[in-house]
Amino acid sequence: MLLRSGSASSSEIEHLTAQPKSIALAELGVKAGHNARLIVANTRAMEAAIALSVKLDCEAVLAMQNALLGDTHPEYTGKWREQQVWVGGGMSNSPHPASFVPPHHHRIPQLMNDFVSFAGRADMPILPQIAVAHAQFETIHPFPDGNGRTGRAIVHSMLHRLGITRNVTIPVSAGLLQNTAGYFDALTAYRKGNVAPIVDVFSWAFVSALANGRALIVDLEAFRSWAGATTSARRGSAGWRTIEYLLKQPVIDANSVASELGVTTQNAQLGIDRLVRDAILHPSGEGRRNRRYEARPALAAVDAFAKRARRPPGQ
């Protein structure tokens, strides 16, 4: 849930938004909105970043971006960009009004080799290293699309490789989302030779993200305690075990529960029906075939996380 929430925040920095329920439905493979599918793809990129953290090399970076865009824009994946691009300037065909013009594409292989060498160092204070590595990646801008989301996924790869995170993720993008203007200004300052602002922005984002992530965990644990005390399902049954599954997938169907728990679809449905009778789950939508069910308190916890992430600093 932390991973998906962080992915949603990272996507929202790029103005890609979707409701928690839509994202959960997209996770199930149900037809959902375009943005919800992109956020799920962003989650896959972050999962790839963590899985590939042992060796953060150019191939790993390419794999992360492929996890992000392989389904929607495969033509952009598997290679560095092969043309000049620029950021800002509207629809102009010229880079002159742009806010930033990245390096020429012929320089990308050398620059990316330098980037992974720096990101792989183990002799620096970790937070400044991550902040500078992120700013450098965004400055290189090695892909035609997905640079911001891939760059923020790399943050998780570095956190994992450097031993800061082990079993959970820090939703850093939720911290960055609270001050996107400061984030973008800090990237601009970095490109002018001033490193301090991006380190400050990441320091603040980490503190904010930790607080928000902890609040989400508290809300989910409260839901688990309430559901455990409320349900009539016996311990160890499919219904009881489904409660734990709801902490990471708040919208479910019988097939997803059967796959997660290793039980038959019939037993999964029996467990779901028990939770419906206990008012822990509610049917989602009007259809009777392939019916889905939602845990509303868990969805509310994710929605509260998203609202906190959008709150301006000081309010």
How sure is the predictor about 47, in pLDDT bands with cuts at 50, 70 and 90?
confident
Assigned CATH class of 2-88+100-209 = mainly alpha
Predicted confidence at residue 279, as pLDDT, reads: 97
Q: In what order do the strands lie in the sheet with 292-294?
A: 251-253, 292-294, 282-284
Predicted model pTM? 0.86
Distances from the Cα of 31 to the Cα of 23, 27, 28, 44, angstroms: 10, 10, 9, 17
Q: What is the pLDDT of residue 15?
A: 85
Q: Is the pLDDT of residue 301 over 80?
A: yes
pLDDT bucket at 315, cuts 50 / 70 / 90: very low
Please state the rounded mean pLDDT for residues 300-304: 93
Q: Is the per-residue pLDDT at 194 higher than 70?
A: yes
Q: Determine the residue type at 57.
A: D
Reported as a pLDDT band with limits 50, 70 and 90, residue 86 is confident
Lowest-confidence pick of 87-91, 148-152, 209-213, 233-237: 87-91
- Cβ atoms of 156 and 169 within 8 Å: the answer is yes
Residue 248 pLDDT exceeds 50: yes
- pLDDT at 146 exceeding the cut of 80: yes
Whole-number Å distance between alpha carbons of 164 and 170: 9
pLDDT at residue 208 tops 60 = yes
User: Which CATH code is given to the segment(s) 212-310?
Assistant: 1.10.10.10
Tokens coding 248: 């990471």
At 29 the pLDDT is 80
Phi first, then psi, for residue 125 (nearest 5°) are -60, 130
Max Cα-Cα span within the chain: 67
Q: Tokens standing for 130? A: 């991550």
User: Which stretch of 3-7, 140-144, 160-164, 224-228 has the lowest confidence by average pLDDT?
Assistant: 3-7
Give the confidence band of 240 by pLDDT, cuts at 50, 70, 90.
very high
% of the chain surpassing 90 pLDDT: 62
The full set of domain ranges for the chain reads 2-88+100-209, 212-310
Q: Residue 250's pLDDT is what?
A: 94
- On whether the CB atoms of residues 155 and 206 are closer than 8 A, the answer is no
3-state secondary structure of 29: coil
Confidence (pLDDT) at 37: 86
Q: For position 288, what pLDDT does the model report?
A: 66
User: What is the overall mean pLDDT for the chain?
Assistant: 90
- pLDDT for the residue numbered 91: 60
pLDDT 10s digits, 254-265: 999 999 999 999
